[in-house]
Structure 1
Amino acid sequence: MVKVAAVQAAPVWMDAKGTLEKTLTIIEDAAGKGVQLVAFGEVWLPGYPFTIWLQAPMVAMDVVMKHRVNAITLDGPEMAAICEAARVHRIWVMMGFAERDRGSIYCSQALIDDRGEIVLSRRKLRPTHMERTVWGEGPATDIKVVDTPFGKVGGLCCWENIQPVNRQGMYQLGEQIHVACWPSFGMFKGMRQAYALSAEANMAESQSYALQGGCFVIAPNSVISEESLEAITMGNPDLRNIVFAGGGSAAIFGPDGYRLTDPIPDTEEGLAIAEIDLAMIEGAKVFADPAGHYFRPDVTRLVLEAFAGPAEERSVDQLEEAL
């Protein structure tokens, strides 16, 4: 048994120092509740640059620049302080952060153990849509899982969790506890044209990841605070009909797809906490092991090879010929 927590909270938006102070408080609070692994949302530090979805790229450049200057490095003082908090409170931490590497910024995750050591770091493989105006791409080798005292732990950011190939790679590595980091779902609330940017759609992805992989999924995400709305909308009152305070939807799912935590109101901060039993995975894998008895690598290889060429060469005819 291990007690885990998904953070639902608002960062001090585009403020690395302020968000760091809040991070340390949350870590202490989680440890005080007996949590052994606490997970933060996508680019929790210094916050998700929502403005890029609301304004043209050059109009949103002020926010992009604030995001850049508040990005942190793996070996910088902010990460050192988080590592020290993990060591002092004897807790594991999965941190979502904007990572600076020379002149580029990446959407990253780091897993810190209870001795204050970084045991995993990775970057989002493919930023989604407007995110490509802010972040670079991570390497293919950043499909990673690490051994911990409470099982094999890995993580993906936001719509990385949708990609079938990403999922299969994590399942093949024997992942038992997955951290699906998400931003707030405070944009386009109630709008049909929002496509799949809703809390319902993305929590369904977290749930299906757990069911498909026969693993536990911790799904932390952020909250948009009332105080940050003016900065996010850059003072444009019309955008208040597109982005709203709240958007929290943190949850934890079991390997049978069952939700293990009660919803926290979407405007409130808190920890979604569950005690998980890895023995449940054995029961799930009896029925479907996506990396073993329920996996057909020959079919996967056939499909990928048939559609691996340039777009104009991809066709159903190719797959039929291969078959």
Structure 2
Amino acid sequence: MSQSQQVRVAVVQAAPVLFDREGTLERVASWTARAAQAGARIVLFPEAFIPAYPRGLGFGFIVGSRTEAGRRLWQRYNEQSVEIPGPAIEHLGSIARQHGVFLAIGVIERDRLTRGTLYCTLLYFGPDGALLAKHRKLKPTGSERLIWGEGDGSTLSTVETPFGRLGGLICWENYMPLARTAMYAKGVDIYLAPTADNRDTWQATVRHIASEGRCFVLGCNQFVTRDMYPEEVLREEALPADAPRIMSRGGSVIVSPFGEVLAGPLWDEEGLLTADLDLGMLTRARLDFDPCGHYARPDVFRLEVDERERPVAAFRIQG
């Protein structure tokens, strides 16, 4: 990799049209066009951008019971989610192809077979519009466990590009040391960390990952206000009375392999962060620390990762 080789990347800090898949796809098209006009070759959107990260909503869950209003709200959420393959995937692919970019975006994926399980998923599209890979969140956090299923090791994905390997984890998966190690062992160069965490402490997390993994890190979050929630959604389940006006204040950021902030963090507004990544920095950073190379001790520590898909049933034809 030439020391002079560079790539411009973009992180989109924006809100979807909450609970509206088609409206959000139009927002994706608009923001991707802006990123491409700014010269970006890699564009990242936040976690659960389509159709929404449902911050503040409980979907009627109480230990031991569920409400009818909560079930109806979850039905709406389910119906606005993304199936693979499907029209939304074709639309996203056409956006990537139109602008010639590697596009990564967080979606809520609906199980195509049962239509009754949702996954928090990160999709990767190539500049030819092809869906290159997906990653399903391994462990939804807190109340997310009530509305999203768990992914398995079969989607611990990386994508080869002319600029190195893309890969990453979603939100608090990045607190899982073994999951991070698995991604480092796959040789990730540009680590994607779409999130819903808008705390100041998240900045320390992404800077640590960059330093630990000796990779560039793109952290990406939404900026969402209370008045963006559709009235019909709030009729099903109101936000808490003390919900703040700004529901998610962002904090998107781009970090170098030395843990230095290259762009951001961006707070309290929508916006586009861009940075020119000096890819030679990857090699220079690994001179003294390569987490799965000369700084590993496989004679002492060993990680085993099961990447098999885990279907609920395996059917065999009797011969």
Class of the TM-score when normalised by the shorter of the 2 chains: 0.7 to 0.9
For residues 260-285 of structure 1, the C-alpha deviation after alignment (integer angstroms, 9 at most, x for no partner) is: 0033232x111111000111111211
Q: Output the CA distance in 2 between the equivalents of 1:15 and 1:49.
A: 12
2:148 to 87, 111, 135: 135
Matching residue of 1:258: 260
- Cα distance, 1:54 vs. partner? 9.2
- 2:34 matches 1:33: no
1:224 and 1:236 map into 2 onto residues whose CA distance is: 14
Greater RCO (CA < 8 Å, at least 6 residues apart): 2
Amino acid at match of 2:27: K
Q: Which amino acid aligns with 1:283?
A: R
- Structure 1 equivalent of residue 3 of structure 2: none
2:56·2:239 contact (CA, 8 Å) conserved in 1? Answer: no
- Matched to 1:222, the amino acid is Q
Amino acid at match of 2:250: G
Q: Distance in 1 between matches of 2:299 and 2:46?
A: 36
Alignment CA distance shift 1:108-1:95 (3 Å): same
Matches within 5 A, 1:218-297: 218-229=218-229, 231=233, 234-236=237-239, 238-240=241-243, 244-266=246-268, 268-297=269-298
Q: Is the 8 A contact 1:184 1:222 kept in 2?
A: no
**1:181 and 2:181 correspond:** no
Deviations along 1:17-48, one digit per CA (max 9) or x if unpaired, are: 11111111111111111110000111111110
Q: Partners in 2 of 1:272 and 1:293 — Cα distance?
A: 34
User: For 1:186-214, what per-residue CA distance to the aligned partner results, in whole angstroms no more than 9, with x for missing partners?
Assistant: xxxxxxxxxxxxx2122221111111000
Is 1:166 matched up with 2:179? yes
Residue equivalent to 2:127? 114
Distance in 2 of aligned mates of 1:236 and 1:84: 36
Q: What is the CA-CA distance between 1:225 and the residue it aligns to?
A: 2.5
1:307 maps to none
| CA distance in structure 2 between the aligned counterparts of 1:65 and 1:298, rounded to whole angstroms | 50
Conservation of the 8 A alpha-carbon contact between 2:7 and 2:41? yes
Give the Cα separation in 1 of the matches to 2:109 and 2:256: 30
Structure 1: give runs of 5+ residues left out of the alignment.
186-198, 305-323
Q: Secondary structure at the match of 1:261?
A: strand
- One-letter code aligned to 1:29: R
SS at match of 2:160: strand
Look up the equivalent residue of 1:217 and give its one-letter code: V
Q: How does 1:37-52 map to 2 (within 5 A)?
A: 37-52=42-57
**Once the 2 structures are TM-superposed, how far is the Cα of residue 52 of structure 1 from its aligned partner?**
4.2
- Gaps spanning 5+ residues in structure 2: where? 1-5, 305-319
Distance 1:232 1:295 in 2: 51
Structure 1 residue identity aligned to 2:41? Q
| CA distance in structure 2 between the aligned counterparts of 1:118 and 1:148, rounded to whole angstroms | 13
Deviations 1:283-318 (A, max 9, x none): 21111100111111233239x9xxxxxxxxxxxxxx
Helix, strand or coil: the match of 2:139? Answer: coil
- Which of 4, 8, 15 lines up with 1:10 in the alignment? 15
Q: Aligned partners of 1:210 and 1:154: how far apart in 2?
A: 13
CA contact (8 A) 2:59 2:71 kept: no
Q: Percent identity?
A: 35
Counterpart Cα distance in 1 of 2:207 and 2:71: 35
Match of 1:65 in 2: 75
Paired residues in the alignment total 288
SS at match of 1:276: strand
CA 167–28 in structure 1, closer or farther in 2 if over 3 Å, else same: same
What TM-score does the superposition give when structure 1 sets the normalisation length? 0.83
Q: Does the C-alpha gap of structure 1 residues 236 and 74 become closer, same or farther in structure 2, counting only changes over 3 Å?
A: closer
Residue of structure 2 aligned with 1:84, choices 62, 75, 94: 94
Other-structure match for 1:311:
none
Whose helix proportion is higher, 1 or 2?
A: 1
> Closer, same or farther in 2 for the Cα pair 1:213/1:184, shift >3 Å?
closer
Tell me the amino acid that sits aligned with residue 148 of structure 1: T
| C-alpha contact (below 8 Å) 2:123/2:133 kept by paired residues | yes
Q: 1:290 to 1:99 in 2, by over 3 A?
A: same
Deviations 1:38-77 (A, max 9, x none): 0011111111021346974535444433221111112111
Higher strand share: 2
Contact 1:218/1:253, CA 8 A, preserved across alignment: yes
Aligned to 1:301: 302
